[in-house]
Structure 1
Amino acid sequence: MNSIDRLNLDTRALDVFLAVLDAGSVSAAAVSLGVSQSAVSHTLDRLRQTLGDPLFVKAGRGITPTPYALRTGPHVRQILQELRNLPLGPPFAPADTHLTLTVAANDYQRDLLLPALSRVLEREAPGIELHVVPSGIPTPDRLRRDLCNLMISPHPPPASDILQQRLLDDRMVVFYDPAQRDAPADLNDYLASRHISIVFNTGERLGLDDAMAAQGIHRDAAVTVSNFSGLAAFLRGSDLLASAPARLHQGMMREFAQASLPFNHRPFSLYMLWHQRYQDDPAHRWIRSQLLDVAGRLPA
């Protein structure tokens, strides 16, 4: 078979071959394909020359496939199916997937969502390595440059190439050590107390601070830490207050009591963010669905 013959082997010719193989006659295949009988015969002649086999021979008044045609038929069906599935990408099986998934999250988002995701990956896709990095200030550039594949944030950046999916809702509450003090009775009690505040390494503060400033409220930050994990050590055994997401009570703040903020503050949502290059990737679609499922199973 020379290189010119290979060019004659197109998908339409393979469809004709299968139609004749299934119908058992040239005329019936022509009817099923909606073409003329001469067109089917001409295509079979090209295939015979290309493949170097008669494919079909006369048997009485009809035709019968050669042994080569019978052996080749299933392989041709597989080839055509794979070609038709080509726009969907390669077949995806979690257990056979090998990649490194980099997720950017702060310690609150990390501890809330990623340990459960890690257990799913260990069980169903052990070839996927989970790499967690600090989220910092969420910018489209981090996703565009592939510094991370997923980002978790309450602040989706306004960019058309960055896609988002809401994971869960949360609200800010006041944590305190019940062995040392009671919950703040009102706003005056809250403002008269000493507080632990958070200023991230990027210099970013909690959205709560901006909301309080907009209402003309100022609290006394006796201690400032750079992440949520730093709150517990300072809160334990003190009369300090820590204003933080309520879902921290499911993890690092479980030993403390919590109360509602004594002023209006809207709940917030956490989103997962990804670049559009991963929108239709089967592995990443599966990972995102698993993370969404993890978030959905969390206690309200």
Structure 2
Amino acid sequence: MPSMQLMNDLRRIDLNLLVILDALLSEQHVTRAAERLHLSQPAVSHALARLRDLLGDALLVRQGGSLVPTARALELAAPLAEALAQVQALLAPNRFDPASAKRRFRVAMSDYSAAIFLPDLVRVLRREAPGIDLQIIQASREGMVDGVLNGDLDLAAGVFPDMPAELRTTPLFEEHYTCLVDRDSLAASGTLDLPTYLSRPHVLLEMRGSGTPEIERALTAIRERRHVAISLPHWGVAPQLIRGTDLILTVSSRGLLEIDHAHLLAVPPPFHIPSFAFELAWHARRGGDSGLQWLIGQVQGVLKI
């Protein structure tokens, strides 16, 4: 923690004076230093006078047609140049070079999310940023939000209807629901009506702590309920449970892009379930993290946003 004396010393220093001193020590000529800094000669001369007073040393003395640095000035030259370079780096935009970066990002997503974009994302990372590692973490919606808030997660992919003010999101795509049934279990029409939907058992994809499923809220709105026969936290095996049974799986449509169409059938729900935005979420304090923003851009890229 800076001492009070240091704070007082820093208040006396105009950073621009140090930039001028660096130019004077390099050029050893007031006019050339002024031209280099795009300042007038009187302005540089005035700055040199202030520097002499501030540091208690002549710094540069005239010898022939040039200014020669004093011993004190020579001592200052190297650390001054280094300090200015560090300040410049501090104030410069945070640049991220994916080809040379070495980082690990902790990203929360369900296996549904992973199936949609993770393979394509990994191929991009291996090609363009081989030093970037991903740690994929599965969590409930509340767990994702808490993880991003407390810094355990860099990024979360999911559905976030009510976000804390500290978090930022960007939409990836608009999603809607589809019902998956065994092809032989439907009538010849291939349609699913509400009485059939309500009379048959259902598979529910639910992680502990994810709150009331959107489907249950939609059914409550029409004063109906369904019977959940199988509840599981993972998407991967769910379609296999439908084949050869009377079970119904109501899920986000993108997860059904590679189903067994010979035996399974995707049909619209027989009641209204609102569509929703699938999003990426991160903490507002990470807005200046160019590496994280680059990763977000890659996710958007593989989804063609």
**What's the TM-score, normalizing by structure 2?**
0.74
Post-superposition CA distance 1:123-181 (Å, at most 9, x none): 22222211111121325432232222111221254312122111111100111232553
Post-superposition CA distance 1:245-294 (Å, at most 9, x none): 0001224x354331111111211111111122322112112112212222
5+ residue gaps, structure 2, are 1-9, 70-76
- How far did residue 11 of structure 1 move? 4.8
> 1:274, 1:148 → 2: CA distance?
8
Aligned match for 2:283, one of 272, 275, 284: 275
Counterpart in the other structure of 1:257: 265
Aligned match for 1:190, one of 182, 186, 197: 197
Q: 1:27 to 1:296 in 2, by over 3 A?
A: same
Counterpart in the other structure of 1:16: 20
Aligned match for 2:301, one of 286, 293, 298: 293
Counterpart in the other structure of 2:150: 145
> 1:64, 1:38 → 2: CA distance?
12
TM alignment of 1:113-262, pairs within 5 A: 113-139=117-143, 140-182=145-187, 183-202=190-209, 204-251=211-258, 253=259, 255=261, 256-262=264-270
Between 81-90 and 210-219, the greater mean CA deviation after superposition: 81-90
Corresponding residue SS for 1:119: helix
> Is 1:112 equivalent to 2:119 in the alignment?
no
> 2:162, 2:274 → 1: CA distance?
20
Post-superposition CA distance 1:82-105 (Å, at most 9, x none): 523413465421122222211111
Corresponding residue SS for 2:172: strand
Corresponding residue SS for 1:238: coil
Corresponding residue SS for 1:173: strand
Aligned partners of 1:100 and 1:129 also within 8 Å: yes
> Is 1:95 equivalent to 2:99 in the alignment?
yes
Corresponding residue SS for 2:142: coil
Corresponding residue SS for 1:229: coil
5+ residue gaps, structure 1, are 1-6, 67-72
> 2:39, 2:14 → 1: CA distance?
16
Corresponding residue SS for 2:183: coil
Post-superposition CA distance 1:166-200 (Å, at most 9, x none): 11111001112325535334222322333322332
Percent identity, aligned pairs only?
22
Aligned partners of 1:95 and 1:124 also within 8 Å: yes
AA aligned opposite 1:187: L
